[in-house]
Amino acid sequence: MTTSTAPGAPRPRTAPRPAPGGGLRPSAKVLPAQARAHNRAVVLGVLFHSGPLSRADLARATGLTRVTVSEIVAGLVADDLVAELETRPGGRVGKPATPVGLRGEDNLVVAVDLTRLSGARGAVLDLTGRVVSETTVDLHGLRGPAALAAVEELCRGVLESARSTARASVLGVGIGTPGVVDEHGTVVEAANLGWSDVPLAQLLTDALGAGVHVVNDANAGALAEFTYGGSSPSGSMTVMVGEGLGAGIVLDGHLVRGGRMAAGEIGHLTVDPAGPPCECGRRGCLETYLSVPRLTAALEGRPPARRRAVLTAAGRRLGAALAPVVAALDLDEVLLSGPRDLLAGPLLDAARRSVREACLPTATDVPRVRTASLEDSAVLRGAAALVLSGELGFS
């Protein structure tokens, strides 16, 4: 990592580094050739998730030697990522241990959420995932180069704001976008933006002079729940219910992308060949029953009993579609992210029953099906988590 020479100073960049594993939490030592960067990420990850610790406690938590931990901490202090804190009082004889902690509020990340183009969001977040400032712009109707130029302008404005307020540095830019995105940040296909094979991360890295990392919006939601929301690191699926329908899967600490980078694209699974027409040209896709516009339209003007029936039916369809994935991957939990007035209650209850009835019961009564923790900040926080993974090696 390049040490910034002034508060908020940009770090020279040539190309974005793909996030290792899309959200891997390092936790053990590796081969000597990889050890330095990996062990640095291990220390950062422990401080991120556990809070301030002494060097001795860090050595015990990571399995690294005290000498190695001291060297890593010295480098992190020099890079303005970690600071020594006030000495903790204790009952031990001798010099009290000095804890070190992340400078979470001093180092900032820029995050962009393109899920709703009529209200695209750009935000500055600190390392704890707290939104420091936010702006909203209307990108509705923009396509191709015009959409790209507008996204660049949004990123540039938020990045300049972050650089002017960061007391240490701005680590990079994360973007959550609809569509299929590969591990290098190329948007393979995003129909509503008119993008096909657009190397978004590289183009914006060159334009902004900062590391830019791009991920599908549903995957961003899964990363956010994994990093900030307490979802299971062993196996979880976050289902994003919005203008469309998609899912992100985290398995054994890794974001699952799939061979065609389309893992979690469940919105166009056909659940009823004779069902309503879908924008993709087919009929009865899951999205035609579960997207927010479709659900809202189906509920409009209905009496309470009928509303409950509509939501129950939608939840039953969702659970039936998810159950094979949950069983095949042995997931611990499914999280539903979207408007709580639609998802909580009958829809959630029906989805939970469908999944549990279809999956093999176990002594621990998994899988769990619940609403997500982060609500409307999930994509922004997931984009921020992607920057932590890509720039610092942890999330």
pLDDT in tens, 195-228: 999 999 999 999 999 999 999 999 999 999 999 9
Instruction: Return the closest-CA partner of residue 82 out of 125, 35, 48, 33.
Output: 48
267 SS3 class: coil
Question: Tens digit of pLDDT for each residue in 64-93?
Answer: 999 999 999 999 999 999 999 987 665 555
In the sheet that holds 170-177, the strands lie side by side as: 131-137, 120-126, 108-113, 170-177, 212-216
Is residue 213 within 8 A of residue 172, CB to CB? The reply is: yes
Residues with Cβ within 8 Å of 294's Cβ and at least 6 positions away in sequence, in order, are 276, 287, 288
Positive or negative torsion for Cα 102, 105, 109, 115: positive
Instruction: Band the pLDDT of 18: cuts 50, 70, 90.
Output: very low
Mean pLDDT, residues 175-192? 93
Mean pLDDT of 263-276: 91
- Helices vs strands, H then E, count in the chain: 12, 16
pLDDT classification of 32: cutoffs 50, 70, 90: low
Q: Which of 185, 170, 177 is nearest to 124 (CA)?
A: 170
Query: What pLDDT score does 4 carry?
Result: 33
Q: In whole angstroms, what is the distance from residue 388 CA to residue 49 CA?
A: 13
- Check if the beta carbon of residue 55 is closer than 8 Å to that of residue 66: yes
What is the b/e burial string over 327-339, where b = at least 16 CB atoms within 10 angstroms of the residue's CB? eebebbbbbbbbe
